[in-house]
């Protein structure tokens, strides 16, 4: 039976003594996840394709309390198995196990708005503005890499179960970053991206069901509109590796009940919840400001 003091937020969501890896951790949602973990005492390793971005993220956002730490691992292209294996081997030299893997790396893909009423015009718009190569690249980064990244880290994740004792067998987990776009029937002009994120949603459920025999949980966060290089009007980050989401862009969509983009702290709350709640497995948690209440979802 839990005494009242055990409901202290610092105990419920503490990451003290826990170790995590975040792909695409130098910017956007990946950096938000890394900050949340480190600010609550965790040691978090971030990786991505750009070394200078990773190094700057560490320099700009190193936690100054709670004993947490953000560390940059060598650059890694998660679409390449050799890079993933090298990443695992690099981490094995530093740690015997990890408790959490956040598969965040992703791309937006091509865009072609299906706003033509005439079928011939519609074909021309979609045919000329998208390519098979772009579709394959989007799927490779947003889906295939999530699978192989998770598989690559399974042994390190399972090795993290024993240190926390038999009552915490589901303490090790994976959080995939999908999207509300993978749960709606509005293409938003992003057929390849929305289709890929829908695949990520289902992949999460498949991995959760199949990998639970290893005592590793798999859940997904399906973000709505959050600031990142993908959503920033300049497609970039500032000197602190942070991006903006213009308020006017939210207003122009006409389908965000919250009438604002998501706050970075709200993403951090979600990461901590899924990381620490060992009774949650195979769930897709939309953090979208109510968008799926307005736009057709599934």
Which one of the listed residues 145, 173, 178, 243 is annotated catalytic?
178
Which CATH number does the domain housing residue 198 bear? 3.40.50.720
**Which residues make Cβ contacts (< 8 Å) with residue 92, sequence separation at least 6?**
156
Listed range (33-37, 80-84, 167-171, 275-279) with the worst mean pLDDT: 167-171
Q: Is 208 a residue of the active site? A: no
210 inside domain = yes
Per-residue confidence (pLDDT) for residue 1, from 0 to 100: 83
Per-residue confidence (pLDDT) for residue 156, from 0 to 100: 97
3-state secondary structure the chain: CCCHHHHCHHHHCCCCCCEEEEECCCCHHHHHHHHHHHHCCCEEEEECCCHHHHHHHHHHHCCCCCCCEEEECCCCCCCCHHHHHHHHHHHHCCCCCCCEEEECCCCCCCCCCCCCCCHHHHHHHHHHHCCHHHHHHHHHHHHHHHHHHHHHHHHHHHHCCHHHCHHHHHHCEEEEECCHHHHECCCCCCHHHHHHHHHHHHHHHHHHHHHHHHCCEEEEEEECCCCCCCCCCCCCCCCCCCCCCCHHHHHHHCCCCCCCCCCHHHHHHHHHHHHHCCCCCCCEEEECCCHHHCCCEC
Mean pLDDT of 77-83: 96
The answer to whether residue 186 scores a pLDDT higher than 80 is: yes
The answer to whether residue 214 scores a pLDDT higher than 80 is: yes
8 inside domain = no
State which of 16-20, 225-229, 239-243 shows the largest mean pLDDT. 16-20
280 inside domain = yes
Domain span at residue 130? 15-293
Q: Is 197 a residue of the active site? A: yes
Spatial CA neighbour of 278 closest among 5, 4, 18, 3: 18
105 inside domain = yes
The answer to whether residue 60 scores a pLDDT higher than 90 is: no
Which one of the listed residues 197, 208, 220, 242 is annotated catalytic?
197
The answer to whether residue 170 scores a pLDDT higher than 80 is: no
Mean pLDDT of 40-48: 95
Q: Is 237 a residue of the active site? A: no
Per-residue confidence (pLDDT) for residue 150, from 0 to 100: 98
- What is the residue-averaged pLDDT of the chain? 91
Spatial CA neighbour of 196 closest among 175, 182, 185, 186: 182
Angle between helices 28-39 and 51-61 (to 10 degrees): 40
169 inside domain = yes
Per-residue confidence (pLDDT) for residue 234, from 0 to 100: 65
Listed range (26-30, 153-157, 161-165, 241-245) with the worst mean pLDDT: 161-165
Which one of the listed residues 139, 193, 237, 243 is annotated catalytic?
193
35 inside domain = yes
Where b means 16+ CB within 10 Å and e means fewer, 210-229 reads ebeeebbbbbbbbbbbbbbb
221 vs 238: which has the higher pLDDT: 221
Per-residue confidence (pLDDT) for residue 63, from 0 to 100: 76
Number of domains in the chain: 1
6 inside domain = no
65 inside domain = yes
């Amino acid at each position: 039976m839990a005494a009242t003091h055990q409901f202290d937020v610092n105990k419920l969501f503490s990451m003290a003594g826990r170790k995590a890896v975040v792909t695409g951790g130098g910017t956007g949602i990946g950096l938000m996840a890394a900050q949340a973990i480190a600010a609550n005492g965790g040691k978090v390793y971030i990786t991505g394709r750009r070394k200078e971005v990773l190094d700057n993220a560490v320099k700009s956002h190193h936690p100054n309390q709670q004993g947490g730490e953000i560390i940059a691992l060598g650059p890694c292209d998660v679409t390449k198995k050799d890079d993933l294996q090298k990443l695992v081997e690099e981490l094995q030299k530093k740690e015997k196990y990890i408790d959490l893997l956040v598969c965040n790396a992703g791309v937006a893909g091509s865009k072609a708005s299906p706003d033509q009423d005439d079928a011939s015009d519609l074909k021309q718009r979609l045919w000329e503005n998208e390519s098979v190569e772009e579709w394959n690249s989007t799927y490779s980064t947003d889906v295939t890499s999530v699978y192989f990244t998770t598989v690559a880290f399974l042994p390190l994740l399972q090795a993290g179960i024993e240190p926390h004792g038999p009552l915490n067998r589901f303490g090790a987990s994976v959080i995939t970053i999908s999207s509300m776009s993978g749960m709606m029937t509005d293409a938003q002009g992003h057929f390849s991206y929305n289709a890929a994120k829908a695949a990520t949603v289902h992949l999460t459920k498949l991995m959760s069901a199949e990998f639970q025999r290893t005592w590793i949980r798999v859940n997904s966060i399906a973000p709505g509109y959050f600031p990142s290089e993908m959503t920033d009007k300049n497609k970039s980050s500032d000197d602190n590796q942070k991006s903006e989401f213009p308020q006017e862009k939210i207003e122009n969509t006409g389908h965000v009940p919250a009438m604002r983009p998501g706050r970075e702290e709200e993403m951090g709350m979600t990461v901590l919840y899924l990381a620490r709640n060992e009774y949650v497995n195979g769930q897709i948690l939309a953090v979208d400001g109510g968008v799926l209440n307005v736009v057709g979802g599934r």
